[in-house]
Amino acid sequence: MAVITISKEFASGGLEIARNLAEKLGYDYFDKEIVKEIAERARVSHQEASDFEEEAHVNFRAYLSRIIDLDIFKKGKPDDSEPEVETSYDERDKIPYSFDTQGWIDSDIYREMICKVISELSQRSNVIIVGRGGQCILNNQPGVINIRIIALMNDRIARLQVDNPDLSESEARKLIEEMDKRSREYIKFYFNADWDDPKLYDVVVNTSRLSDGRVLDCLAALCQ
């Protein structure tokens, strides 16, 4: 019984393999559910959290949160029944989110919450966590298997065109490169790590060399 993280190149078949592996093993599957949990904890809409996650990981909002009182951005009226607690900017730098973050999310809040949510999930057994730096957050943690799924570019283009037949080869390649770039920058920005670093993973699977069914059988045997 294990906790499994799966990192995948775009259009490598990794998403389908992750879902099928969860079903085959009877594991709980967490992907977009993680974003929903972050939204609830930050008390922002699911759409806002999703939109934020897809941004170019520019730390502008995190910078603002340290120089401007976050209360002016929070949604809803303040509760006059509770006295305000003064917090200096120096103290915020040391413990940035000891104060209420209701209705606000920035890069620092997002990173703190993604680490908390994934760490909490890792305390359970029989879970698969897809993406969002799980391989960095849980790296070298006992009982965790970090898996990376890759494929050759030509095979990824072919997979993408099956589901999107109107895409030309050049359009498919451009989309794949853009999505990979986004994943690479996400890992670099939030965890200062190299998404392609094989040392982050226990297993790297190339779906250009093995069929999806064979990959599924191999991973299921490994994780049982």
pLDDT top residue among 73 and 203: 203
Say if CB 216 and CB 17 are below 8 A apart.
yes
Percent of the chain with pLDDT over 90: 57
pLDDT at 151 over 90: yes
Q: Is residue 53 part of a domain?
A: no
Q: Is residue 142 part of a domain?
A: yes
Q: Is residue 162 part of a domain?
A: yes
CATH code of the domain covering residue 217? 3.40.50.300
Q: Is residue 198 part of a domain?
A: yes
pLDDT top residue among 54 and 214: 214
Q: Is residue 207 part of a domain?
A: yes
Number of domains in the chain: 1
Q: Is residue 68 part of a domain?
A: no
Mean pLDDT of 3-30: 95
For the four alpha carbons of 6, 32, 38 and 92, in that order, the dihedral sign comes to positive
Highest-scoring range by mean pLDDT, 37-41, 57-61, 99-103, 208-212? 208-212
Smallest CA-to-CA distance from 200 within 132, 131, 135, 122 is with 135
Mean pLDDT of 55-83: 48
pLDDT at 176 over 90: yes
Q: Is residue 80 part of a domain?
A: no
pLDDT at 201 over 60: yes
pLDDT at 18 over 60: yes
Q: Is residue 171 part of a domain?
A: yes
Highest-scoring range by mean pLDDT, 53-62, 80-89, 113-122? 113-122
- Residue given tokens 């670099």 in the structure block: 188
The secondary structure of residue 99, as a DSSP letter, is S
pLDDT at residue number 102: 55
pLDDT at 92 over 50: no
pLDDT at residue number 57: 54
Average pLDDT value for the chain: 82
CA triplet 141, 191, 140: central angle to 5 degrees?
15
pLDDT top residue among 107 and 98: 107
Which structural domain range is residue 208 located in? 3-27+126-223
pLDDT at residue number 1: 58
